[in-house]
């Protein structure tokens, strides 16, 4: 284990970890969770491997090795600054649970790269913008880049106070608020020449933006950031009220942001009630539960959330479900028990997917089946390792470990359970 003996451990029928080709026996029924030292030990080892992968993938320039083919070692020249910020978010979460100087150093390098190459002022908004392409090019920008960029830089500042000027963090937050409409919704994209783009929306960006605003509120305690986050989450909850479970969007970032917001909900201006926010989260969870694969001819797919064996959709759903467990109440439906059972199967799926040996140990391929499988023959990129595949799996494992090992009191990403009963 990376740091000490875990206080409480969980069971699924998973053999001891070895390679990514292991198979696991799923629990006989959801909610049949028991406690087992081996399983949570496997999670701890997976965290250690992925942490080392992310830390080493961040080069001296601060740029991550974004996408590579593990068969040839060939690296793609493409880059996505939103996923760059996401990798920093996972490293910050790692450092909060397991203080790690290498994680902090990687975050610092990544932050320097982000600030030097992508962040610059914008005259129209009077704010700082995370541009989609490296400077000096300024053409367009995504709301999600500002949201996760703010989360990432605030995470570094929490680990190393003063590492990022507060005025820069506030500048990014002003851009997020600039893109917010009066009803709490956002324009997801911004163009330098014409301003906010009104005919294109992203599912995940509003939750990322809300999370960024809450992250800054935790640093400077300005109520305006919290109010804007509350407006965003209220819009999401109320605009989805009449949707059937099958129609609910798979918005894991909304669940993560809700977990972060609820401890402060009485301190800010939130149009939706706590009950509405929790019900919105519960319905997203119900959609996730319906998606999980409980039986498959290829047993490696069991516990995942994608029939094609993709790892990232499964990891993001687990992040959302685990965040929801921080605030969903016990009720007669047995939803919490169902979620815990689903989470165990999903975590086992991710453990089977991780590369555990060789030069890319700790990496996460695009699909569980990997090289040589039928899926790989159909999709030659299925074994590629992309930085967000690793980030989402690491984030899910960290949330799982904190939730069930007795570490939850430390908080994940800033959640404060002590406030939930206020």
Q: Which of 201, 202, 211 is CA-nearest to residue 233?
A: 211
Q: Kindly state the helix (H) or strand (E) to which residue 195 belongs, with its residue range.
A: strand 195-197
Query: How high is the pLDDT of residue 265?
Result: 85
Query: How high is the pLDDT of residue 96?
Result: 96
Percent of the chain whose pLDDT exceeds 70 = 84
DSSP string, 269-338: --SS-HHHHHHHHHHHHHHHHHHS----SSGGGTT-S-TT-BHHHHHHHHHHHHHHHTTPPP-TT-HHHH
Residue 376: pLDDT over 90: no
Structure tokens at 301: 């797919």
Looking at residues 55-83, what average pLDDT do you find? 95
Residue 422: pLDDT over 80: no
Give, in order, the Cα–Cα distances in Å from 22 to each of 166, 315, 359: 47, 18, 19
Mean pLDDT of the residues in the chain:
86
CA-to-CA distance for 20 and 343, rounded, in angstroms? 19
Residue 7: pLDDT over 50: no
Provide the pLDDT confidence category of residue 28 given band limits of 50, 70 and 90: very low
Residue 420: pLDDT over 80: no
Residues 51-86, buried b or exposed e (16+ Cβ, 10 A)? bebbbebbeeebbbbbbbebeeeeeeeebbbbbbbb
- Domains detected in the chain: 37-419 (1.50.10.10)
Query: How high is the pLDDT of residue 11?
Result: 23
Provide the pLDDT confidence category of residue 51 given band limits of 50, 70 and 90: very high
Looking at residues 326-337, what average pLDDT do you find? 89
Residue 116: pLDDT over 70: yes
Residue 386: pLDDT over 70: yes
Provide the pLDDT confidence category of residue 406 given band limits of 50, 70 and 90: low
Tell me the backbone φ, ψ of residue 373, rounded to 5 degrees. -85, 170
Query: How high is the pLDDT of residue 108?
Result: 98
Residue 421: pLDDT over 50: no
Query: How high is the pLDDT of residue 412?
Result: 58
Query: How high is the pLDDT of residue 331?
Result: 82
Q: Decide if 344 contacts 321 (C-beta within 8 A).
A: no
Provide the pLDDT confidence category of residue 36 given band limits of 50, 70 and 90: low
Query: How high is the pLDDT of residue 378?
Result: 57
Cα angle vertex 72, ends 69, 78, to 5°? 40
Q: Rounded to an integer, what is the distance from CA 106 to the centroid of its chain?
A: 18
CA-to-CA distance for 198 and 215, rounded, in angstroms? 26
Residue 16: pLDDT over 70: no
Q: What is the pLDDT of residues 174-221, one digit of tens each?
A: 999 999 999 999 999 999 989 999 999 999 999 999 999 999 999 999
The H-assigned helical ranges of 364-412 are 374-378, 387-404
Query: Torsion angle of alpha carbons 275, 215, 185, 85, nearest 10°?
Result: -130
Residue 25: pLDDT over 60: no
Structure tokens at 122: 């914008």
Q: What is the pLDDT of residues 259-309, one digit of tens each?
A: 999 999 887 678 899 999 999 999 999 999 999 999 888 888 999 999 999
Q: Which of 228, 213, 233, 336 is CA-nearest to residue 280?
A: 233
Query: How high is the pLDDT of residue 270?
Result: 85
Could you give the 3-state DSSP secondary structure of residue 32? Answer: coil
């Amino acid at each position: 284990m990376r740091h000490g003996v875990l206080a409480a451990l969980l069971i699924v029928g998973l053999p001891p970890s070895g390679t990514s080709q292991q198979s696991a026996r799923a629990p006989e029924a959801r909610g049949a969770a028991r406690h087992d030292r081996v399983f949570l030990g496997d999670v701890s080892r997976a965290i250690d491997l992925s942490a080392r992968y992310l830390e080493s993938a961040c080069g001296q320039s601060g740029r991550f090795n974004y996408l590579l083919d593990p068969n040839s070692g060939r690296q793609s020249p493409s880059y996505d600054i939103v996923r760059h910020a996401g990798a920093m978010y996972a490293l910050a979460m790692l450092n909060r649970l397991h203080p790690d100087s290498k994680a902090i150093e990687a975050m610092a390098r990544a932050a320097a790269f982000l600030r030097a190459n992508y962040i610059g002022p914008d005259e129209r908004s009077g704010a700082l913008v995370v541009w989609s392409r490296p400077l000096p090019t300024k053409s367009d920008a995504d709301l999600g880049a500002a949201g996760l960029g703010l989360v990432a830089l605030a995470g570094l500042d929490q680990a190393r106070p003063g590492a990022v000027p507060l005025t820069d963090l506030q500048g990014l937050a002003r851009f997020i608020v600039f893109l917010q409409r009066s009803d709490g919704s956002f324009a997801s994209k911004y163009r330098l020449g014409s301003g906010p783009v009104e005919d294109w929306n992203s599912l995940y960006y509003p939750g990322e933006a809300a999370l960024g605003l809450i992250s800054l509120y935790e640093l400077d305690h300005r109520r305006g950031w919290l109010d804007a986050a509350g407006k965003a989450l209220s819009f999401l909850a109320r605009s989805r009220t009449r949707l059937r479970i099958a129609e609910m969007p798979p918005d894991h970032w909304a669940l993560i942001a809700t977990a972060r917001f609820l401890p402060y909900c009485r301190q800010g201006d939130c149009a939706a009630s706590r009950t509405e926010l929790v019900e919105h989260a519960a319905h997203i969870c119900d959609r996730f539960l319906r998606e999980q694969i409980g039986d498959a001819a290829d047993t490696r797919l069991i516990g995942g959330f994608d029939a094609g064996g993709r790892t990232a959709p499964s990891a993001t759903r687990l992040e959302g479900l685990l965040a929801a467990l921080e605030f969903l109440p016990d009720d007669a439906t047995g939803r919490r028990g169902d979620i815990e059972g689903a989470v165990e199967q999903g975590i086992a799926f991710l453990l089977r997917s991780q590369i555990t040996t060789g030069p890319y140990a700790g990496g996460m391929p695009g699909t569980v089946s990997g090289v040589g499988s039928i899926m790989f023959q159909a999709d030659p990129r299925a074994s590629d390792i992309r930085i967000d595949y690793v980030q989402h799996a690491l984030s899910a494992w960290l949330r799982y470990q904190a939730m069930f090992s007795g570490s939850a009191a430390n908080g994940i990403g800033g959640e404060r359970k002590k406030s939930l009963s206020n």
